[in-house]
């Protein structure tokens, strides 16, 4: 075993001093690394926070999606019930609708639309003008029958008067001719008359 000499001690001291200097030179790097590590930890904390917010948002979205799915399921059940209820009627209507589509012209469809648009006014007129007249027919009918009976009695009385038979016959003939002329004129007017414009024509 070699005995250490003073040179060995001096060499050891020099190497120790070098190690100390090297260690001291590493201190700024260690400080910089600690700063970088701290910044990385902060960034990691921010990323973790963002991930937590994203997870919370995803939970909200999932909850809303689940609610929408539940509502869609309920609506589907209702629609299925309605379809099951109306399916036989729809099957019966299908050939009718197909025939209407195949045979209807555009002007006919327009006429139907205009007719539907006139229905409110027609209902109002029925209620205000026509129905009151129909209601009064029940009370007018007996009066008309009384007038007819009175007219027959007057005719019989006139016919029984001397010399009035020929007058009555002439009056009846004139009345018949007048009625025939009125009927002929009515038919002629009916052939050439046009219905009033109630919005059916544009």
Split at pLDDT 50, 70, 90, the class of 104 is: confident
E strand or H helix at 74:
helix 6-103
Which stretch, 16-20, 75-79, 194-198, has highest mean pLDDT? Answer: 75-79
Note the pLDDT tens digit of each residue in 184-198.
887 776 665 554 555
d(CA 168, CA 161): 10
Q: Smallest Cα–Cα separation from 126: which of 118, 166, 109, 140?
A: 118
3-state SS assignment for residue 178: helix
d(CA 179, CA 173): 10
Choose between 71 and 139: higher pLDDT.
71
Mean pLDDT of the chain: 76
Mean pLDDT of 84-89: 85
């Amino acid at each position: 075993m070699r005995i250490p000499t003073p040179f060995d001690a001096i060499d050891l001291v020099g190497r120790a001093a070098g190690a100390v200097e090297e260690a001291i030179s590493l201190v700024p790097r260690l400080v910089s690394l600690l700063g970088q590590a701290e910044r990385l930890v902060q960034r990691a904390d921010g990323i973790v926070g963002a991930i937590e917010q994203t997870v919370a948002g995803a939970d909200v979205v999932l909850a809303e999606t689940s609610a929408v799915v539940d509502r869609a399921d309920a609506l589907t059940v209702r629609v299925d019930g309605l379809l099951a209820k109306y399916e036989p009627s729809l099957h019966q209507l299908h050939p009718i609708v197909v025939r209407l589509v195949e045979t209807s012209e555009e002007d006919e469809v327009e006429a139907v639309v205009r007719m539907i648009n006139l229905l409110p006014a027609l209902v109002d007129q029925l209620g205000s003008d026509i129905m009151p007249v129909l209601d009064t027919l029940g009370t007018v009918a007996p009066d008309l029958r009384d007038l007819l009976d009175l007219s027959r009695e007057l005719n019989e009385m006139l016919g029984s008067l001397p010399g009035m038979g020929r007058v009555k016959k002439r009056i009846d003939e004139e009345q018949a001719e007048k009625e025939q002329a009125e009927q002929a004129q009515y038919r002629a007017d009916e052939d050439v008359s046009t219905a009033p414009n109630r919005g059916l024509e544009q």
